[in-house]
Amino acid sequence: MDRPEVSINITDARHYIRNKKRYYDCITTDPIHPADAHSNNLYSLEFYQMTNQALKPDGIMCQWLPSADLAPLEIKRIISTFKAAFPFVSLWMPNLSDLALIGSNEALNIDLALLQQRLSDPTTVAGVSRHLNPPTVENFLALFLMGDKAVGAFARDIPLNTDDKPFLEYEAPKNLWNMANLPNLFYEVAGYWSDSFDELWQAVPMTPAGKDSLQAYYEKNRAGQLEMVAESAGMWCRHLEETGDLNAAFVQYERMFSLFPETLNPALLDAAIGMSVIQVKLGNPDLSRDYYQTAITMAPEEILGRNLAAQAFLARGLYADAQREWQEVLKIDPRNKEAAYFLRQLKSQGLFSERVVP
């Protein structure tokens, strides 16, 4: 704030944008949460149109979105409204809890040399290191989630959020902190990911070799993002189990199988164990054994599969089942440290049963 080129204005954002006759290279808005009262004026079509009018011809607008706090419909409504004000829009994901919408009047065009220069500046690095570690060009570009084509299809035909129809202000509080928000959002987003790298590639001029390298990195990062989403989906499913909504939990576990690739063994194995447990509770022992066998055979090694299954049982409070799996591991590998450790933990907490036979 002490730098001479910085000026601070404490005022209403809409009034300032509308009345200040100057134009900006970039406008970024990280306003009050959409679920807060009177927040609608900073998420409405009219506000976005004002910001567009205050941009230079090649300027950009950035809008923050809380991905875990809003239901997919509310995310789509903001995107749809934003897209109505900006001809070109892309969606970026710095982490699972936050999204960034980038709007402009020109197609996205990323200058790799300039980006590398910015990411070499110590001041910039200090500001972005929380989300970019290390602060490389590849790490930055891997945050790209959707291009203009995918964004338009994702939020198509959603009624806009306007000053006189403030849908968002009444919708958002109803779904705040709902555990289903993030998994539901990515179940829908995943259907538009197939074209995302092609759209990024069009915005980043580079050699074919550079494209192949970036694509490999991008896909690796996407798998990591999916794994984190799968963990979030698993937490939601276990919550449904705990509250007794077994049929809903089973349906959501099936959705996990349909979305996430089999390389995500921990998440999918947890889902298979969850479906096995649910079928026991629903009185279907044959189905339960089928899902349990699926879980055991999903991991590339028997020991790994049983260790993961034991962890899934432990998370559900099924201590005897977890104990049985770890005892099986020790029969296969008497020196297995993980199984020995957890069995000691069960004993120290009085949860070990001498009657459990592996």
Supply 206's token pair.
């580079």
pLDDT of residue 70 exceeding 70:
yes
> CA-CA distance, 311 to 272, in Å (whole number)?
12
Residue 163 CA to residue 182 CA, distance in Å, equals 27
**What is the per-residue pLDDT for 283?**
86
Quote the CA–CA distance of 107 and 143 in Å, as a whole number: 18
Q: What is the DSSP letter of 174?
A: G
- Flag whether pLDDT at 56 surpasses 70: yes
What pLDDT, on the 0 to 100 scale, is given for residue 266?
Answer: 75
d(CA 213, CA 138): 9
How far apart CA 237 and CA 326 sit, in angstroms, is 24
Cα 157 from chain centroid (whole Å): 23
Helical H segments across the chain, by residue range: 13-19, 45-53, 72-85, 112-118, 122-128, 137-141, 148-154, 167-171, 181-189, 196-203, 208-242, 246-259, 265-281, 285-298, 302-315, 319-332, 337-348
- Report residue 214's pLDDT band, with 50, 70 and 90 as the boundaries: confident
Q: Whole-model pTM? A: 0.83
**What was the pLDDT predicted at 154?**
93
**C-alpha 67: how far from chain center:** 7
Q: Are 24 and 18 in contact (CB under 8 A)?
A: no
AA letter at 77: R
Query: What percent of the chain has a predicted confidence (pLDDT) above 70?
Result: 97
Of 119, 65, 115, whose CA–CA distance to 89 is shortest? 65
Q: In which residue ranges of the chain is CATH 3.40.50 found?
A: 13-205
User: Mean pLDDT score of the chain, rounded to an integer?
Assistant: 88
What is the rounded average pLDDT of the residues 244-269?
Answer: 82
pLDDT, one tens digit per residue, over 81-122 is 999 999 999 999 988 889 999 999 999 889 888 999 999 999
- Compute and round to an integer the Cα radius of gyration of the chain: 25
**Looking at residue 262, what is its pLDDT?**
67
Mean pLDDT across 47-55 = 95
User: Taken in order 222, 227, 229, 233, is the CA torsion positive or negative?
Assistant: positive
Please choose, from the candidates 92, 43, 96, 39, the residue with its C-alpha nearest in 3D space to the C-alpha of residue 67: 96
Architecture field, domain 13-205: 3-Layer(aba) Sandwich (3.40)
Among residues 25, 80, 176, the alpha carbon closest in space to that of 91 is found at 80
- Domain boundaries for CATH 1.25.40.10 within the chain: 221-348
61 has pLDDT over 90: yes
Alpha-carbon distance 90 to 171, whole Å?
Answer: 24
Report which listed range, 129-138, 142-151, 250-259, 288-297, is most confident.
Answer: 142-151
The whole-number pLDDT of residue 104 equals: 96
How much is the pLDDT for 95?
Answer: 84
Distance, CA of 6 to CA of 296 (rounded, Å): 60
In the numeric block, which tokens belong to residue 344? 């000691």
User: pLDDT digits over 274-304, tens only?
Assistant: 888 898 888 888 888 888 888 777 776 678 7
Q: What angle do CA 7, 47, 104 make, to 5 degrees?
A: 80
pLDDT for 197 equals 82
What gap in Å lies between CA 30 and CA 284, rounded to an integer?
A: 50
Q: Which of 351, 319, 326 is nearest to 340 (CA)?
A: 326
Residues 30-48 have pLDDT tens digits of: 878 999 988 899 999 999 9
Is residue 249 pLDDT above 80, yes or no?
yes
Greater confidence (217 vs 300) lies with: 217
d(CA 234, CA 226): 12
Q: Which of 35, 17, 12 is nearest to 166 (CA)?
A: 35
Alpha-carbon span 233 to 227, nearest angstrom: 10
CATH class of 221-348: mainly alpha
Q: Which pLDDT tens digit goes with each residue over 314-333? A: 888 889 989 999 999 999 99
Q: Give pLDDT, residue 300.
A: 61
Could you tell me the pLDDT band of residue 305, with boundaries at 50, 70 and 90? confident
Average confidence (pLDDT) over 74-80: 96
Mean pLDDT within 151-159: 93
Task: Identify the pLDDT of residue 43.
Answer: 95
Contact in structure between 138 and 116 (CB atoms under 8 Å)? no
Residue pair 24/50 in contact by the 8 Å Cβ criterion: no
Percent of the chain with pLDDT over 90: 42
Distance CA 221, CA 93 (A): 11
Cβ pair 225, 96 in contact under 8 A = yes
